[in-house]
Each structure stands twice: as structure tokens, then as C-alpha cells.
Structure 1
Amino acid sequence: DTPVPPPAAWNATSRAASRAPLGELFASWAARTPRAAALVAGDRTWSFGEVDAWANRLAHHLIGRGVGPERVVALVLPRSAELVVAELAVAKAGAAFLPVDPAHPEERRAMMLADARPVVVLDDPEHIRAVTGPEHTPGDADRLAPLLPEHPAYVIYTSGSTGVPKGVMVPHAGLGNFAAATAEHYQVRPGDRVLQFSSPSFDASVLELCSSLLAGAALVVPPEGPLLGAELAAVLREHRVTHALIPPAALATVPPEEVHEGLPEFRTLIVGAEACPADLVDLWAPGRRMVNSYGPTEATVVATWTDALEAGSGNPPIGRPLPNTRVYVLDEA
């Protein structure tokens, strides 16, 4: 039998980590690899340098509209290049972005906007594309107030499955640790291509952002609408996606013959959002790194993850805590 380590050993996860804000973490990659692909949408590719300049222009525009630390900007936009740039721009301005999926029910969208009280709502992709302004990275001298690691970086609303949806404000302080940990554990390298699969309103979209643009990899934006079955396989294949977080319910729709024969470049599959059945592990784990990840919205997306799953190992556990994270199993008392 495998010995069970004491709680102190289980939670011995401390390591040095950056507390730099999201915009600064991205800008550092733009400075290191300005010509590398950062964002892919349709037949268009933007480099890190181009995305950084675009986000800086929008950030300065937002600052001029009263956007800054401890304020919220709502992004009512579908999966798109404009959404990604807007998220970076809001972070650079020092505010927290609130992604609101336009495909969600009107009642939920109205509730989120009424509760969050954003100072600005961005819902026009054309405006985001056309914005002009300075292209240098905003600093505290440009912002309305100094940006601190404890300031909120983004707001995500819970599903409301246990009651009324609640807005969770996640600070910048943990994003450097999260980005470094995901790059290491998911084995993301500069030049890799990460799929933007999640709805913008779910925090899995933050994982996709951090594990790509904060690791020197490209974020691939697929067409609007649900990605399922052969269409999902086609997007993975045609865009040469190397990494993706895909819920088990979506994985189960992909034709089995596509899993190995048609996806030679798909190296890392992250599953989450729901329990993953053993038969999907048996089908998808051979030939690639498959990792089960778990975490509540309040925990900067992921709190625990497994090592690489193996076919025949049964239903996957939720794994061990991330670096600088502690987890506890509690009884009802």
C-alpha cells in the first residue's frame, strides 16, 4: 500500500513566485518575443508586439474614461481576439475585467451588470479595433491610482447552482504563481498553441489566457458557437493546437477515430469542470499528457491537479495542490 503523507507534507507547496500584475506579466513576454505569434483568429495572426501595442492603446483610452484600480469594466463580447485584447487592456489600466458571455440568458447578464456596477461596458468589437492612443505600457504615472498586487484583476460570477450567483474578485497577486505553475505542469513552451474553448464567463477562460500569453505561447480563438464532435476535432487539427482544456461532456462527442489518427500535435489535454469518466481517460490519455484539474472560482481557477493520467487507471482523482496552495478535506463538523 502507498503510505499516506501527513497533512503538513501534503501541503508543503511553498516556492518563490512573482506577484506582478497581469498586464506586466504579458508585457514582459512582449518585450522578450515581440515577433512570436500571440493570438490566432481565423486566418489572422497577431504577434506579441502587436497585441501589446493594441492593448496599450485601449488601456490608455480606458484610463481617460475613468478606469483604474478597484473599478470594474464589463466585457460583453463573445470569444474573439477583441475580447482577449480588452482583458489585457483593462488589466493594464489597473481595473478588473468582468467577462459577460453575450450568449448567456438576458436575465443572468442583467443581474451581473447590475451587481458589479462597471464604470465602463465594452460591447462593440469595432470600437476595440479602431481605438487610437499611446502605445507605451501604462504605468502608475498614467493610471488614476497606483496598482497593487492585492487589487482585483478580474471578476467571475459563479453558476448559482447552490443559490444566487456571486461575483468572485480575484487579485493580481496569484496570477504570476498560477501562470508559472500551469506552464510547468501542463508543459507549455513558447511557440505552443492553446485553444480558447471556454465561455468567457467561466474562469476556465482565465486558465486559457494565462497558460498561453503568460507562457510565450499563442492563444487560438475558434469560431463563435459551441465546439463539439467532428467540428472540435477539425479546429484542433487545422489550428495545430497543442494544449486545450475541454470538459468531458465535449470530449465524449469527438469521434474515436479522430482522437489518435487526426490529432498528432495535440500534446496536452486538460479536463475539468465535471468528473471525467474512466472510459474517456482510456480513449484520450494514450499518446498525450492528460491532466485532471479541479478548483472553485474563488481559488484562481485551479486548486488541485493530477499527474499525467494513464489508460486503465479508472476514474481520475482531483490530485494534489498547486504550488503555494493548501487544501484540506473537512467533515460536516
Structure 2
Amino acid sequence: MKRASGVGHLAPFLPGLESLLEDPGVSEIMINGPANVWVEREGRLEPHEAPGLTAAWLHRAAIHIARPLGLDPAARPVLDARLEDGSRVAICTPPAAPEVAITIRRFGGRAFSAEDLVRMNSLPEEALHAARATLAARRNVLVSGGTGSGKTTLLNALIELLPEDERIVAIEDTLELRIDRANCLRFEAGATLSETPVEIRDLVRHALRHRPDHIVVGEVRGGEAADLLQALNTGHGGSLTTIHANNARSALSRLASCAMQAGDALPWEVTCRGVVDGIALVLHVTRRDGRRFVEEALDVRGYDTAAGRWLTEPAWTTQTPKEVNA
């Protein structure tokens, strides 16, 4: 896949944002339109004055980002790009939006180990012990959370818990994970030499032909969940993935719902049993008051078909058991 230029190369096209683009403390820059800029710094949002950032400049910036990808914002008003430094950019232009909107998520300056996250109070030791034991038993972990909650950071840390002498196949929309392993094969969706892009589901199926010991999917969003569950239930234990969800229990339902989007989906009850067989532990991360941390850890025990609910036990949680199982 071609790459757009790095964050620093955007400065000439985004007047008034030069200092933000150079500031490693800024994790996200959100441009809602001309002179309407918001910044995330240390987990908190704040406005940024940029009176010189006009609609014309935003249009030029969108073209500058899209051109290396062989795209034209006028023909494709919604696009996602990964910059050369690993940062991600989402662009929406008219007629899909009243004004050009650009959101830049900076690629993190460093990868954090699980022990780093424990020291930062982002990962409770009890949750780390649960994840380590689950992966050592060749069972699978699902990381859930909202946008910007730290799912990728946690996923990256958990990958380090996998045995060094075993093979990992990692699949992502854009290559964000930092995997320092010699025997790791990485796939990226979206690459294409024709009109049909390679989808995550294609890569999950293809990964099985490359003899993985562990499969890592950066994020599950759709029908690829069905193929992933099949892989998790057929000899690829100790695998990892993430999903958007409001809490740990709803993450299981979201995973089942995604699997149901597959054209060859199995009945709901059968899919839920597949989730129970495929996922042993759910770690839910959240962002609150400028902090990102693991809020829940649930052991998955089963699915009550008659009641239509997941049977879980808290492996660790900041909430009371009554709240978790409500």
C-alpha cells in the first residue's frame, strides 16, 4: 500500500498547526472545518486557535494527503490514509461533509510493555496475571473498548506475552502494531492492484495457509469475525483481537453480531457458542478523566440460550460483581 507523507510534511498545508504537528505530547488533531481545531493532549481535549486555516488550505491538505494514494477527494470524499511515520489520517470532504474535516491520530512515540502499563496504573496486576495465564493455556483474549481508549496499546503489550519461538500472523487495516519478532508475518488490508481491495476477511482466511501458531487481528468490525472464530476453535489458541464495545459483556455480543454479518453465517445460538469456545477472557479498556486503563476483566463461561445472556465471572474489575453481572 502506498503511503501519504508524514505528519511533518503536512505543516505547509495546515497554517497555524505547525507547533501541534511537532509536539509529541499531542496524540490527536481534529479539524472540524476552517479555523475550528481541537487537540487531544494527555487524554484531554482542548481548542486550538488557527485563524489562518481556511477552507482553501484544508482542500489543499486533503489533496496532498490523497495524491500519493492515487486518490482524488473530489471523486472519493471519504478516505483513510496512513502516513509514512505510521500516523493515521481520516478525511471527509464535501458533499459528504459541509466543510473539509481532517482528523490526524499521531503514531505513538514508543511501545509500552505489559509491565510498563502496570507501572502506569493502566493495567492492574490481577488483569495481567489473568491474561498471562489465559495465553499460556493457549486460550484466546478479546480486548474491547471505545475509540481512543487504548485498545491497540494494550494489544501490543499482550503480544509480548506470547512465546518467542512461536509464529505470529498479524492482520490489520493499517499497520499500527509494533511487533518485534523475527517469526512474525504481517498483513494489511486495503492494498489493491485492481478495483477490488483486499479485505480483512480475505486476510484472516489467507492467514491459515501460513502456519500461524497465533493469530492477531488488530480490530474486528464485520464478517471476518466468523472466520476468526473458526480459526480460534481449530487449533490456533493463544490468539488476540480487539473490538469496539461499551463494556466487556457487550463485547461478546458485538463479536457474535459481527460474525452474523458473514454471508454464510450460522444461527445466532450456534454463533454464540462459537464465541464461548473461542474467547476465554475479555479485557475492557476505557478512557476517563484523561486516563486510559483496563476497567474490567471477565472470564467467559458459557451462553444461556434460554435466557439469551452470557455467563461470565469477573477475573478482575473496578466495579462490584453485582454491577458487572447486571
For normalisation by structure 1, the TM-score amounts to 0.38
Question: Which structure has the highest strand share of the two?
Answer: 2
Q: Which structure has the larger Rg?
A: 2
For normalisation by structure 2, the TM-score amounts to 0.39
Which has the higher relative contact order, 1 or 2, with Cα contacts under 8 A spaced 6 or more apart? Answer: 1
